[in-house]
């Protein structure tokens, strides 16, 4: 049996699955947590990776591996390959003003949005790497001047696993490059002019900055570090976590995934590029040569983490409380912008409870409002996706908070359509493992592994909950 490893270096943790390359059967797994915060040392990801690999029984007998990772995080490297400063993660909103400035510099707010959508497939928001580089240039010019290469979390981890310290060996894939903000997703080429704009340097100087080479979807990009005993392990290009998840659950055209991890992500596979100048849909690429338009909220699973903490209960009890309440929570709405928000783009917003009354001021309705508020935000993302003409034939619910029975049962009521629940699993790591098996096989398409069992959940639609949410989602205070 030949083994492949899939690694998910996500916001909150590193997870590793080791699977049989031929059948996809799970053989071993491991996990380790990442530090909290939106600014994290990449070395912490490396430590968590080593810990997770050890827990998974090591990688010595693994024939191929690939890494899926949280998207967009800025890993700035100096000429020696050292990390210049802690990485700013996708959910760090300090570059919100930089995002606005980058847009306005292309002919004003409205024209600028259309220009960016046309140039790269997305409108910059604080999550995108390009805005973090502008922030670096303005806030830490001495660090900006030392930048010799820019990687993303998964690119950097793949490079570390290879044992290389040569910047030219950095490799990425289309799905990750498409989330940087300096990659033309439709044309498949870096835009050094946009990198120059972000860093306020000349195009010649920008062209000297090393960006990871964009490898093909099943290209072998290197081998593991020989010094660690991983020399016989082929490395795949890896992918952004959402693209890896789409490969993990085997999405095709018409399939939509709604992932509720730290971020809430509504994603679909599209054969053609999407360029949404409203900015609600990011026009990223998939891990298989297609496109992966998606809507991303900053407030996913942590809405429920926070609600459980507030009520002094665990997730099981939070779910029971939410399911014990009536739909609509006696008029209570949670506007869930707890960490600011990205879709809609409200980086300085805070959350709010709207409609509190003596009828609703109880744990059941608070729990219900938390689940409904989270899902209404995602339903808005789903609507934005369909407005771009993306077909929606089926919806699969994945990510940590998809384990919640309340989320599973209330989601079809809020979305107004059935949802499919695959068995709980690590679908980002699975997608990375499937890519590794694809690299190993050298076949044209990824291996056909047996899909996990899927449960369909149906519910009576509750459109009044979404309508009330829509009439209240502007009712929040700004931070500070």
* Shorter beta-carbon distance to ligand ADP: residue 73 or 399: 399
| Secondary structure (3-state) at 149 | strand
* Shorter beta-carbon distance to ligand 5SP: residue 234 or 429: 429
405, 319 contact by CB (below 8 A): yes
Residue 312 CA to residue 265 CA, distance in Å, equals 27
Q: Among residues 3, 7, 9, 11, which is the contact residue for ligand ADP, using CB under 6 A? A: 11
Residue 146 CA to residue 95 CA, distance in Å, equals 19
Is 387 annotated in a binding site? The answer is no
Can you list the alpha helix ranges (DSSP code H) found in 163-300?
A: 174-177, 192-199, 203-207, 241-248
The CB-of-69 to ligand ADP minimum distance in angstroms stands at 10
The CB-of-301 to ligand ADP minimum distance in angstroms stands at 3
Interface with ligand ADP includes 421 (CB under 6 A)? Answer: no
* Shorter beta-carbon distance to ligand ADP: residue 17 or 209: 17
Q: Which does 304 bind (CB under 5 to 8 A by kind): ligand 5SP, ligand ADP, none?
A: ligand ADP
- Sites for ligand ADP among residues 342-401 (CB under 6 A): 399-401
* Shorter beta-carbon distance to ligand ADP: residue 399 or 447: 399
Is 72 annotated in a binding site? The answer is yes
Q: Which residues of 221-255 are buried (b: 16+ CB within 10 A; e: fewer)?
A: bbbbbeeeebeebbbbbbbbbbbbbbbbbbbeeeb
Q: Which does 72 bind (CB under 5 to 8 A by kind): ligand ADP, ligand 5SP, none?
A: ligand 5SP
Q: Which does 71 bind (CB under 5 to 8 A by kind): ligand 5SP, ligand ADP, none?
A: ligand 5SP
Q: How far is CA 157 from the centre of its chain?
A: 16
- Residue 16 phi/psi, 5-degree rounding, is -130, 130
Q: Which does 315 bind (CB under 5 to 8 A by kind): ligand 5SP, ligand ADP, none?
A: ligand ADP
- To the nearest 10°, the Cα dihedral for 68, 69, 74, 75? -70
Q: Among residues 4, 5, 10, 340, which is the contact residue for ligand 5SP, using CB under 6 A? A: 10
Residue 294 CA to residue 196 CA, distance in Å, equals 27
Q: Among residues 4, 5, 7, 13, which is the contact residue for ligand ADP, using CB under 6 A? A: 13
Q: Among residues 92, 173, 241, 365, which is the contact residue for ligand 5SP, using CB under 6 A? A: 241
Residue 256 CA to residue 293 CA, distance in Å, equals 10
Interface with ligand 5SP includes 218 (CB under 6 A)? Answer: no
In 147-192 the beta strands, taken as DSSP E runs, fall at 149-151, 171-172, 183-184, 189-190
Q: Tokens 């997770």 map to which residue? A: 52
Residue 163 CA to residue 228 CA, distance in Å, equals 8
Q: Among residues 131, 343, 404, 420, which is the contact residue for ligand ADP, using CB under 6 A? A: 404
Nearest to 86 by CA among 50, 34, 51: 34
Nearest to 432 by CA among 89, 173, 55: 173
- Sites for ligand 5SP among residues 76-135 (CB under 6 A): 90, 127
Interface with ligand 5SP includes 435 (CB under 6 A)? Answer: no
Is 241 an annotated catalytic residue? yes
Q: Which does 179 bind (CB under 5 to 8 A by kind): ligand 5SP, ligand ADP, none?
A: ligand 5SP
- To the nearest 10°, the Cα dihedral for 319, 324, 327, 332? -80
462, 323 contact by CB (below 8 A): no
- Sites for ligand ADP among residues 236-275 (CB under 6 A): 261-262
The CB-of-414 to ligand 5SP minimum distance in angstroms stands at 20
- Of 86, 155, 173, 241, the active-site residue reads 241
The CB-of-13 to ligand 5SP minimum distance in angstroms stands at 9
> Which spans of this chain sit near ligand 5SP (rule: CB under 6 A)?
10-11, 70-72, 90, 127, 179, 240-242, 261-263, 265, 296, 300
> Which spans of this chain sit near ligand ADP (rule: CB under 6 A)?
10-13, 261-262, 301-302, 304-305, 315, 399-401, 403-404
Catalytic residues: 241
Residues making up the binding site for substrate: 71-72
Residues making up the binding site: 71-72
């Amino acid at each position: 049996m030949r083994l492949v490893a899939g690694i998910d270096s996500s916001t909150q943790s590193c997870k590793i699955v080791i699977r049989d390359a031929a059948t996809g059967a799970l053989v071993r797994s491991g996990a380790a947590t990442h530090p909290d915060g939106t600014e994290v040392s990449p070395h912490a990801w490396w430590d968590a990776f080593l810990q997770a690999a050890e827990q998974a029984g090591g990688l010595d007998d693994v024939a191929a591996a690939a890494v899926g990772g949280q998207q967009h995080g800025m890993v700035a490297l100096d000429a020696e390959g050292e990390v210049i400063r802690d990485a700013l993660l996708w959910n760090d909103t300090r570059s919100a003003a930089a995002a606005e400035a980058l847009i306005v510099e292309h002919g004003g707010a409205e024209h600028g949005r259309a220009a960016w959508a046309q140039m790269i497939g997305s409108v910059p928001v604080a999550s995108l790497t390009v805005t973090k580089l502008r922030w670096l240039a303005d806030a830490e010019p001495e660090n900006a001047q030392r930048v010799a290469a820019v990687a993303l979390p998964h690119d950097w981890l793949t490079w570390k696993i290879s044992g290389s310290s040569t910047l030219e060996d950095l490799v990425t894939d289309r799905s990750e490059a498409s989330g940087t903000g300096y990659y033309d997703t439709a044309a498949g080429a870096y835009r050094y002019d946009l990198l120059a704009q972000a860093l306020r340097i000349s195009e010649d100087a920008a062209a000297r900055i090393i960006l990871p080479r964009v490898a093909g979807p099943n290209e072998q990009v290197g081998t593991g570090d020989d010094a660690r005993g991983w020399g016989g392990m082929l490395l795949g290009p890896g992918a952004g976590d959402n693209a890896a998840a789409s490969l993990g659950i085997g999405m095709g055209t018409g399939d939509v995934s709604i992932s509720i991890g730290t971020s809430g992500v509504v994603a679909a596979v599209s054969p053609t590029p999407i360029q949404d100048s409203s900015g609600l849909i990011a026009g990223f690429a998939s891990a298989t040569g297609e496109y992966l338009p998606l809507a991303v909220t900053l407030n996913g699973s942590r809405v429920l983490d926070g609600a459980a903490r507030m009520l002094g209960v665990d997730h099981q009890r939070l779910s029971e409380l939410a399911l014990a309440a009536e739909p609509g929570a006696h008029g209570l709405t949670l506007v869930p912008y707890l960490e600011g928000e990205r879709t809609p783009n409200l980086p300085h917003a805070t959350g709010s409870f709207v409609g509190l009354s003596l009828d609703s001021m109880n744990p059941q309705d608070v729990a219900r409002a938390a689940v409904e508020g989270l899902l209404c935000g995602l339903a808005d993302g789903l609507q934005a996706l369909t407005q771009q003409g993306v077909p929606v034939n089926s919806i699969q619910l994945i990510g940590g908070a998809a384990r919640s029975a309340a989320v599973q049962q209330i989601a079809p009521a809020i979305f107004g359509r059935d949802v499919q629940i695959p068995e709980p699993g690590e679908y980002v790591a699975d997608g990375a493992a499937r890519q590794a098996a694809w690299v190993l096989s050298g076949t044209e398409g990824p291996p056909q592994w047996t899909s996990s069992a899927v449960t369909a959940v149906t519910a009576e639609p509750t459109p009044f909950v979404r309508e009330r949410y829509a009439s209240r989602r502007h009712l929040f205070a700004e931070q500070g």
